[in-house]
Amino acid sequence: MAPIPAAEVDVTIDLVRGLLASQHPDLADLPLELVAHGWDNEVLRLGDDLALRIPRRELGARLVRHEQEWLPVLAPRLPTPVPVPVRVGSPSDGAHGPAYPWWWSVVPWFDGEAVVRSAVDERRTLARPLAAFVTALHRPAPDDAPVNAYRGVPLAVRDAGIRERLDAHPLPERAALLDLWDRLRTTPEWDGPPLWVHGDLHPANLLASPDEAGTLALSAVIDFGDVTSGDPASDLATAWLTFDAEGRREFRELVSRAGVADTAMWDRARAWAAVFAVLLVTSSDDAPQLHAIGAHGLAQVLSGE
């Protein structure tokens, strides 16, 4: 197994405070706390109402630019809050503040806990709002929408990668996963127009809070760095990554009722869930929550539809 990708820049509190002082001085004295350490970005809470997304790798920096450009376009059509940037930070050569090579964002802080921290059976109440979210998001994208080589693409594009990863990290489930993959990867490709796709719709990127009845309610969908256009099946993989069988049945029924997802779409979504689960379980030794998502996804994918 392996850890998450190494940082290319050491994002420290001092660095971030210096960037704020030089570019957004009215925010520079607010309390600052590192709260999440992701594959591509560090997330810091800024005061009570704001957060910062600071890339730690060049790849993440390119993805932050997609969020800055497209979240203001997408947000008005979505039924769930998303982190539309309220300020934009620019690269700095060090002449006026600390040197930092990439764009970064100030975004709203959303109350709620990452869904990955909740018990799986408690997540069933999220099936309806998450189905409403993907139904609203999965609309035709414009010609200049981002294109991501790893999301929203035909399954054939991911074939060599998943085989190489399973060869490099032989999991106990390897034979069963390959049997399932070989059955699903020949599913007919998406032949509709490219639709908007979140790209990373797993339970670490869903926030929820208890409602008045004490059940989980979806409070925000975050991390649109992989936002792209293409086949929405890669988003629907969340049916296996987030839910148990009961929650998945409700989610699938609601999404299918909206008219986009047919049997082939769900077969591709299950294959995508296998891809994401293998990636997470083999690359998150130092990120236990991501590893847990991968392990849950593997069990759900192999347990049946």
What single-letter DSSP state applies at residue 278?
H
Q: How much is the average pLDDT of 268-292?
A: 92
Q: Please, what is the average pLDDT of the chain?
A: 94
The whole-number pLDDT of residue 294 equals 96
Do residues 266 and 230 lie in contact, with contact meaning Cβ atoms separated by under 8 Å?
A: no
Please tell me the least confidently modeled range out of 39-43, 48-52, 278-282. 39-43
What are the E-state strand segments in the chain?
32-37, 41-46, 50-55, 87-89, 92-93, 99-100, 104-108, 113-114, 195-197, 206-210, 216-221, 228-230
The CATH fold assigned to 113-303 is Aminoglycoside 3'-phosphotransferase; Chain: A, domain 2 (3.90.1200)
Residues of the chain above pLDDT 70, percent: 99
Q: How much is the average pLDDT of 174-178?
A: 96
pLDDT of 1 > 70? The answer is no
219 SS3 class: strand
Domain with CATH 3.30.200.20 in the chain: 13-108
Domain with CATH 3.90.1200.10 in the chain: 113-303
Of the two residues 200 and 38, the one the predictor is more confident about is 200
Identity of residue 189:
E
The whole-number pLDDT of residue 254 equals 97
Read off the pLDDT of residues 83-129 as tens digits, 9 standing for 90 and up.
999 999 999 998 888 999 999 999 999 999 999 999 999 999 999 99
Q: Which residues contact 215 (CB under 8 A, 6 or more apart)?
A: 122, 125
For domain 13-108, say whether CATH 3.30.420.40 is its number. no
pLDDT of 2 > 70? The answer is no
Instruction: Write down the pTM of the prediction.
Output: 0.94
The whole-number pLDDT of residue 130 equals 98
